[in-house]
Amino acid sequence: MQDTKLRKIYIYTNGTDMSIEARNKFINSLKNSNFDVLYNEKSRKELALDADLIACIGGDGTFLHFAHDCDFPSKPIIGINTGHLGFFQELNANNRDIERFSKAYFNNEYILQVIPVLETDIVFKNGIKERIYAINEMMVRGPLTNLTHFEVKINDTVIQNFSGDGILVSSEVGSTAYNYSLGGSIVAPGLGVLQLTPVAPASTNAYRSYHSSIILPIDGVIRLTTARRTADEPIYITYDGFESIFDDVSYIEIKKSSRLINLIRFKEYDYWTKLRDKLI
Ligand code: NAP
Ligand code: MN
């Protein structure tokens, strides 16, 4: 049955002409539905909190920026793709897809894809802690001029003394992004795993590192402790297209956070079709 309750919608858009055109089309398609479009008199974070539904218009990069800008809101999100790939987006920016949405939404003809958010604690030598979040991945490395060394633990067990450029920890949805370029595996969403992928691992008589990805249960905790020269060098963390640099790092702990993102999918959403259409 059609649900007619008024819903507040917040529309996040990147600034391209194509996105602005898609935004106008989308707002036009909502005219005869019970949507109240929220405008930017508040901060993005407040708008996302206030809304019943969020639309995000852009590519995957825009989606990642949106999630960080709005502090990883848990409200249902509908993505409209105006970027290159559009893994996170369910709608293309054409009239057919856009006009179909509000009817499907009010008829409850959709499912939610729940996406876990990664959490990284950077623990400094003085014991102070800093936390960052990411959807796709966390890539931890030293300056690229020398080998970076980490002791790698999964839960409480040391699994290797890594030497190379760095280590990338990917979520399921991030498996098709940077992880994939590094030779990591594509992971079907919903399996409940993290993937640890080495970046240029050294394999010599002096240093031995795993050179394939390791896939572990999503409740695992990965701890990277700085070792050898790395203990005195800055640590670079690259995540979802952002980068932060930290000095005096003792160790870094990466795990699934308690935050979840809810993406709207039409009922016939099929990951394998999306993968085929986007990646090859
Ligand atoms: P960008 O440099 O503009 O784009 C990187 C590309 O990755 C874009 O085509 C983007 O799609 C795509 N992408 C993002 N998330 C994806 C996902 N989950 N699955 C498949 N493809 C995905 O940077 P950006 O748009 O801000 O995206 C940030 C991401 O870039 C990072 O999270 C990292 O995964 C990726 N990255 C990749 C490499 C590499 O492959 N060597 C190096 C650094 C960063 P859209 O075109 O739709 O935005
Ligand atoms: Mn991009």
User: 80-135, pLDDT tens digit by residue?
Assistant: 999 889 999 999 999 999 989 988 988 999 999 999 999 999 999 999 999 999 99
- Output the pLDDT for position 55: 96
Residue of 18, 136, 170 with the most ligand 1 atoms within 8 Å of its CB, for mutation: 136
Mean pLDDT across 266-274: 93
- Output the pLDDT for position 35: 87
Are 103 and 138 within one domain?
Answer: no
Domain endpoint, select from 89, 108, 127: 108
Is residue 266, in this structure, part of any structural domain at all? Answer: no
Is the pLDDT at 11 greater than 80? The verdict is: yes
Give the total number of structural domains in the chain: 2
Are 136 and 234 within one domain?
Answer: yes
Are 224 and 141 within one domain?
Answer: yes
Are 44 and 128 within one domain?
Answer: no
Are 181 and 62 within one domain?
Answer: no
User: 54-64, pLDDT tens digit by residue?
Assistant: 999 999 999 99
Note the pTM of the prediction, 2 decimals: 0.96
Is residue 277, in this structure, part of any structural domain at all? Answer: no
- Output the pLDDT for position 102: 86
Domain range spanning residue 219?
117-259
* Direct distance between the N- and C-terminal alpha carbons of the chain, in angstroms, rounded to an integer: 40
Is residue 97, in this structure, part of any structural domain at all? Answer: yes
Is residue 36, in this structure, part of any structural domain at all? Answer: yes
Q: Tell me the CATH number at 95.
A: 3.40.50.10330
Q: Tell me the CATH number at 183.
A: 2.60.200.30
Mean pLDDT across 246-269: 96
Is residue 279, in this structure, part of any structural domain at all? Answer: no
Ligand 1 touching residue 201 (CB < 6 A): no
Are 229 and 172 within one domain?
Answer: yes
- Output the pLDDT for position 2: 62
Higher pLDDT, 50 or 197: 197
Residue nearest to atom 37 of ligand 1 (CA): 178
Whole-angstrom Cα distance, residue 204 to residue 209? Answer: 9
Are 198 and 92 within one domain?
Answer: no
Distance 60 CA to ligand 2 centre (A): 6
- Output the pLDDT for position 1: 56
Are 218 and 254 within one domain?
Answer: yes
- Output the pLDDT for position 50: 86
Are 41 and 148 within one domain?
Answer: no
Catalytic residues: 60
C-alpha distances in Å from residue 114, one per residue of 171, 198, 260 = 12, 27, 6
